[in-house]
């Protein structure tokens, strides 16, 4: 049989002994004369044809060079087709990618390889082959040609497939069962056990056979119940029970037993098949879980909060005793979505809007809503919930708690109401004080206004002369302007003191504020024959605060000092001092020589509505302390020996 091949690619006999560096175009042709040395060697092509396999060769780059006739006849392909499309033309589509990967690796690294694949026959059917490929190297180690042989293994592969398709033998299934298994006669004697049985109970196979199962592994205390199981099996019943069995070493193992009778077609009991599953660890885990649940139940039922839990579906499946006592409902009424019946209707949607997004995102949440108490009152509660997980890290639902915050909310609302009332009382105090100051302010304003009128008249007189005295007139106008500015400053100070504005924090010079309040109270001090003395610290730091509120505090303390000396004989002196305090604070003191503090009531005087004045409101000092404390300072009082009282307050320095 002559191989079909192209002369331009035909290898010659000389290829077997060709030099490593010989190029394909230098190979001798087959039609050389009879005396050619190549012809005298064993004909290469004849050898290729008689090899009992499918032989082929390829050039160093992997392109097909030659296929023997057996190869071509089997595939029904021509050599030109294979040279054009490669060996994969004859390989099953599912095997091509693996072959191509191995072929590329071999070409890259110059290594041999083997592959099992299916080749297409000329009739279109596919058979299994093993393909072995080896490189031929020249003297320099460079690959100069590849040789391959494909050997059919169809029968071997079919045999392997058939073996894989065969079902396991019953003996194998019995021996390899993961649970301990035993076959017993009707009298309970052991016919056969598997390997797991011997491992579980610690016996050798020879120690087991033909002994009764009861004497082998049943504890004495459980012998009676074991005999009852045997009787039940004889009457066609089955046994499913969790119990204890004994090992060879005397230790006990907790097992789950499933025993069924083996019967003939006529229902005759001929044997018993029993399976033993070791549940010792399972039972220990269950006991630990029960103990944990009992501890949790005890803790939850004695906790001073309402506790609930949900499952993985988001529905509540547990409420502790305090919750049930609070709502006056049963567990059956509350589980699922029953608890929603106790939520204030207007709050229901808000509860779901908060809980559901957190639940799906597995994130903690917190919300407030009203929950009906057993007496029918809706109480405000704050609810917090977090996701919970099993020991294996699997999501198990949510756990949360509720705390009744109704009283806290009411207290907060009451504090807010008192704060607003205090603010109104403070304003009322300023307005009441305005009435007391009206007379002295009128007297204080009359002085600069009268002086301004007099200066204006003087100016007119100077201007009415035949020779106007311009310099004198200018001086009179300047004095009138100064008097007008002084009156304007008094009016501005009073207006700012009594207007109702939102507190505005700014840097305040306390020495300057003291001077302003002295100006406001000067007429009243003069009227009561009171000497006002000041001692100002140099370079006193400014404070950050509300200027009007600080004015109010100073006005109240100075006015109290004046009032305290109203009926005192002897020296009447009001002293205001400023100095640097500790830790960067500014210290202000206002002292008088009046009647002094009530005995042992240095703190009582700061209580709301406490007063020693016949017409006092008892809120001035309380408001003053609140203002100072809101600025981060402190206000207190002491005696001022030998007579009178001294009030101090501090404020944090806020700038140079």
- The residue with tokens 């699922």 is 336
Pair 509, 494 in one domain: no
Pair 618, 512 in one domain: yes
Average pLDDT over the chain, rounded to whole? 83
Paired strand residues for 128:
118
What is the structure's pLDDT at 14?
Answer: 32
> Would you state the torsion angle of the CA atoms of residues 85, 89, 90, 91, taken in this order, to the nearest 10 degrees?
130
- The residue with tokens 């549940």 is 279
Pair 379, 527 in one domain: no
Pair 243, 299 in one domain: no
Helix intervals (H) in 565-639? 620-630
Helix (H) or strand (E) holding 315: none
405 pLDDT higher than 70 = yes
430 pLDDT higher than 70 = no
Beta pairing, strands 645-655 & 585-591: antiparallel
Highest mean pLDDT among 59-63, 210-214, 416-420: 59-63
Q: Which of 459, 476, 500 is the last residue of a domain?
A: 500
CATH number of the domain residue 605 falls in: 3.30.565.10
Is 53 contained in some domain?
A: yes
Q: How far is CA 60 from CA 23, 47, 102, 113, 166, in A?
A: 11, 22, 15, 15, 45
Q: What are 454's two structure tokens?
A: 């007099």
Is 254 contained in some domain?
A: yes
Pair 380, 234 in one domain: no
- Please state, as a whole number, how many other Cβ atoms lie within 10 Å of the Cβ of residue 339: 19
408 pLDDT higher than 70 = yes
Pair 546, 638 in one domain: yes
Q: Structural domain of residue 181, as residue ranges? A: 170-278
Pair 495, 348 in one domain: no
Pair 21, 157 in one domain: yes
What pLDDT digit, counting tens, does each position of 138-176 carry? 888 899 999 999 999 999 888 877 766 655 566 777 888
What pLDDT digit, counting tens, does each position of 316-332 carry? 999 999 999 999 999 99
What pLDDT digit, counting tens, does each position of 21-61 carry? 344 443 434 344 444 444 434 466 677 777 777 999 999 99
What is the structure's pLDDT at 620?
Answer: 74
Nearest to 506 by CA among 349, 361, 631, 355: 631
Pair 49, 93 in one domain: yes
432 pLDDT higher than 80 = no
In the chain, the number of structural domains is 5
3-state secondary structure 513-573: HHHHHHHHHHHHHHHCCCEEEEECCCCCCEEEEEHHHHHHHHHHHHHHHHHHCCCCCCCCE
501 pLDDT higher than 60 = no
Pair 47, 89 in one domain: yes
Pair 151, 35 in one domain: yes
Tell me the backbone φ, ψ of residue 477, rounded to 5 degrees: -65, -40
Q: Which of 222, 248, 278 is the last residue of a domain?
A: 278
Q: Which of 255, 278, 301 is the last residue of a domain?
A: 278
CATH number of the domain residue 212 falls in: 3.30.450.20
Give the span between the Cα atoms of 230 and 272, in whole angstroms: 9
First CA to last CA across the chain, in angstroms? 116
- What order of strands is seen across the sheet that includes strand 113-120? 64-67, 54-58, 143-152, 126-137, 113-120
Helix (H, G, I), strand (E, B) or coil at 617: coil
């Amino acid at each position: 049989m002559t191989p079909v091949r192209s002369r331009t690619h035909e290898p010659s006999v000389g290829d077997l002994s060709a030099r490593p560096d010989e190029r394909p175009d230098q190979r001798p042709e087959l039609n050389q004369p009879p005396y050619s040395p190549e012809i005298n060697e064993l004909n290469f092509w004849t050898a290729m044809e008689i090899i009992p396999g499918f032989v082929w060769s390829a050039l160093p780059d992997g392109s097909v060079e030659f296929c023997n006739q057996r190869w071509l006849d089997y595939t029904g392909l021509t050599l030109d087709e294979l040279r054009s499309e490669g060996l994969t033309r004859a390989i099953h589509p599912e095997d091509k990618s693996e072959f191509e990967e191995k072929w590329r690796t071999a070409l890259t690294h110059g290594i041999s390889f083997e592959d099992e694949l299916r080749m297409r026959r000329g009739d279109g059917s596919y058979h299994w082959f093993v393909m072995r490929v080896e490189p031929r190297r020249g003297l320099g180690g460079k690959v100069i040609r590849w040789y391959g042989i494909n050997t059919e293994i169809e029968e071997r592969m079919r045999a392997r497939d058939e073996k894989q398709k065969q079902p396991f033998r019953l003996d194998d299934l019995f021996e390899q069962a993961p649970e301990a298994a035993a076959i017993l006669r009707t009298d309970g004697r052991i016919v056969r056990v598997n390997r797991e049985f011997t491992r579980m109970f610690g016996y050798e196979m020879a120690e087991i056979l033909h002994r009764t199962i009861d004497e082998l592994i049943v504890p004495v205390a459980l012998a009676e119940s074991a005999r009852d199981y045997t009787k039940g099996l004889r009457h066609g019943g089955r046994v499913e029970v969790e119990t204890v069995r004994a090992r060879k070493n005397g230790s006990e193992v907790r097992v789950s037993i499933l025993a069924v009778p083996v019967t003939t077609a006529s229902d005759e009991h001929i044997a018993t098949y029993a399976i033993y599953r070791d549940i010792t660890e399972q039972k220990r885990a269950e006991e630990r879980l029960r103990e944990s649940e009992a501890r949790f139940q005890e803790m939850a039922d004695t906790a001073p909060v309402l506790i609930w839990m949900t499952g993985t579906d988001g529905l509540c499946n547990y409420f502790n005793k305090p919750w049930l006592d609070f709502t006056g409902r049963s567990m059956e009424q509350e589980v699922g979505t029953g608890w929603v019946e106790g939520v204030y209707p207007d709050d229901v949607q808000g509860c779901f809007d908060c809980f559901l997004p957190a639940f799906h995102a597995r994130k903690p949440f917190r919300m407030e809503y009203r929950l009906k108490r057993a007496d029918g009152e809706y109480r405000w509660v704050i609810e917090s919930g977090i996701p919970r997980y099993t020991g294996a890290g699997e999501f198990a639902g949510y756990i949360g708690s509720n705390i009744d915050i109704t009283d806290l909310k009411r207290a907060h609302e009451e504090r807010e109401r008192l704060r607003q009332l205090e603010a109104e009382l403070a304003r009322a105090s300023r307005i009441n004080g305005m009435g007391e100051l009206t007379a002295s302010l009128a007297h204080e304003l009359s002085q600069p206004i009268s002086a301004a009128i007099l200066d204006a008249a003087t100016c007119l007189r100077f201007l009415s002369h035949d020779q106007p005295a311009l310099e004198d007139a200018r001086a009179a106008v300047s004095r009138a302007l100064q008097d007008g500015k002084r009156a304007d400053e008094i009016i501005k100070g009073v207006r700012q003191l009594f207007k109702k504005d939102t507190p505005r924090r700014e840097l305040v010079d306390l020495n300057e504020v003291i001077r302003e309040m002295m100006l406001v109270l000067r007429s009243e001090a003069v009227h009561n024959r009171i000497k006002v003395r000041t001692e100002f610290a140099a370079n006193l730091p400014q404070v950050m605060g509300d200027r009007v509120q600080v004015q109010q505090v100073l006005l109240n303390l100075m006015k109290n000092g004046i009032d305290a000396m109203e009926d005192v004989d002897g020296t009447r002196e009001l002293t205001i001092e400023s100095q640097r305090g500790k830790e960067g604070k500014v210290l202000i003191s206002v002292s008088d020589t009046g009647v002094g503090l009530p005995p042992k009531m240095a703190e009582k005087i700061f209580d709301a509505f406490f007063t020693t004045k016949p017409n006092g409101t008892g809120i001035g000092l309380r408001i003053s302390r609140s203002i100072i404390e809101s600025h981060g300072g402190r206000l207190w009082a002491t005696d001022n020996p030998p007579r009178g009282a001294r009030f101090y307050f501090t404020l944090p320095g806020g700038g140079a």
